[in-house]
Amino acid sequence: MLTAGLVTNTTPRAAGRSPRRRRPRWWVELLLGLALFGVYALLGALSLPGHERRAFVHGEDILAVQRMLHTDFERSVNHWLADQGWLMVVANYEYAFGYLLVTLVALVWLYRRRPRHYPWARDVFAISTLLAILCFWLYPVAPPRLLPDAGFIDTVRLGGTWGSWGSPMVEGANQLAAMPSLHIGWALWVAVTLFRSGAAWWARIASIGHVLVTFTVIVATGNHYWLDALGGAVVVGIGVLAADLARGKPVMWDASASRRLWRRGRPAYTGAVTDTATDAKTPVPPKAAQLAAARTFAAEHGKPVKAVVQRIGRAGARVLLVGGDGALGDVVVPSVETGEALIEAVEGLERSEWDADTVAATVIGPEHRRRMAGPLARR
């Protein structure tokens, strides 16, 4: 039986739609992040023999390969940036904090707005980062700015960038970790996540811009070779592949129809018409389940049934029913036009207004009063 105040969703779940998944506990996610940092710190403290020497050899090898390919453009870009004054300072701070802030915002957005798919994105992030940390340990690489005879300018130190190399804030951090570039890796992870989530078009374009800016900055500041960026792309690709394989297929999902990054306040009853809401200009005929609900109500509570169509904002409309015995019920429909069509289609329903006669015809019983009072009244 339908009762007032209890909106019944008469629309079947859309085909292929997964059930809502509970959001992971935030403190568990925080512990996972600390564990990831712990692995980085542990392997950094357990460096293999000849770590520093091998890092400089590997850095010179990468630069030699790029020269052989005639793609060693990093020094020219680096010298150009060193003469740009304020632009150099901006690039230094973007290098120090940009990728961290963007990644953090993406993680929070996924956690809040995509709880069902957040675990996939987290797994890609964790796998990619662990692979990079393992590479830092097994294959240390000195960045271009540290190679003694390469002719690079250390713009980060030159600009006195707070929170980056030369700052007490990162004293003891591993500087011999150029390959792969986690700056590019994390920027690509954000872009892949936004594209797969069907985020707003401007957010997806911004993520591409972020990747390009990050690539320019890491090269121009002398912190990475372009091959490091390629390495960052490889570890993210492996992370995506591994996370997809763990779930048996590529994970794709859609945002809301409005493609907003952040949820606006939802009007009452929105959840009841998730599968049926549509543009009022193209009214949808009532579904079989909606017609059946109205007929059942009329059969159980006597005819004629007074039917009042009420608009409920973006959610659509509801047909409020008052039975011959005074019982209340309602059926949620996509639009006022659909509600009027439902009244015409169901025998025994008569179109009414919520006036004094309709109010006088209602009978509110004890059960309905308990529903209106809410859970506190049941204690």
* Residue 7, in any domain of the structure: no
pLDDT of amino acid 300: 86
**What does DSSP say about strands 349-351 and 328-333: parallel, antiparallel, or unpaired?**
unpaired
Which pLDDT belongs to residue 326? 84
Q: Are strands 317-322 and 305-311 parallel, antiparallel or unpaired?
A: antiparallel
Q: Is residue 90 classed as helix, strand or coil in its secondary structure?
A: helix
State whether 91 and 133 are in the same domain: yes
CA distance 88 to 26: 37
- Residues of the chain below pLDDT 70: 1-21, 162-172, 249-282, 365-379
Residue-level pLDDT at 159: 73
Does 22 fall in a domain?
no
Confirm whether 41 is domain-assigned. Answer: no
Residue 259 lies in a domain: no
pLDDT at 369: 56
Residue 16 falls inside a structural domain: no
pLDDT of residue 360: 79
Please say whether the beta carbons of 178 and 143 come within 8 A: yes
Digit-coded pLDDT (tens) for 170-180 = 666 788 999 99
How far are the Cα atoms of 93, 100, 167, 186, 285 from residue 171, in angstroms, in the given order? Answer: 17, 18, 6, 22, 68
Among candidate residues 181, 214, 247, the one where a domain is terminated: 247
Boundary (domain end) residue, out of 214, 247, 280? 247
Whether the CB-CB separation of 124 and 103 falls below 8 Å is answered with no
Task: Report how many helices (DSSP H) and strands (DSSP E) the chain contains, helices first.
Answer: 14, 4
Check: CB of residue 215 under 8 Å from CB of residue 91: no
Same domain for 218 and 288, yes or no, is no
Its domain, for residue 219, covers 47-247
Tell if the pTM clears 0.75, that is, is over it: no
Residue ending a domain, choose from 230, 247, 264: 247
Q: Are residues 243 and 287 in the same domain?
A: no
Q: What is the pLDDT of residue 372?
A: 54
235 plus 322 within the same structural domain: no
Q: Return the pLDDT at 1.
A: 41
Does 85 share its domain with 234? yes
CB atoms within 10 A of CB 351: 13
In a domain, 296, yes or no: yes
The count of domains in the chain is 2
Specify if 252 maps to a domain. no
pLDDT digits (tens, 9 = 90+) for 143-163: 999 999 899 998 877 877 766
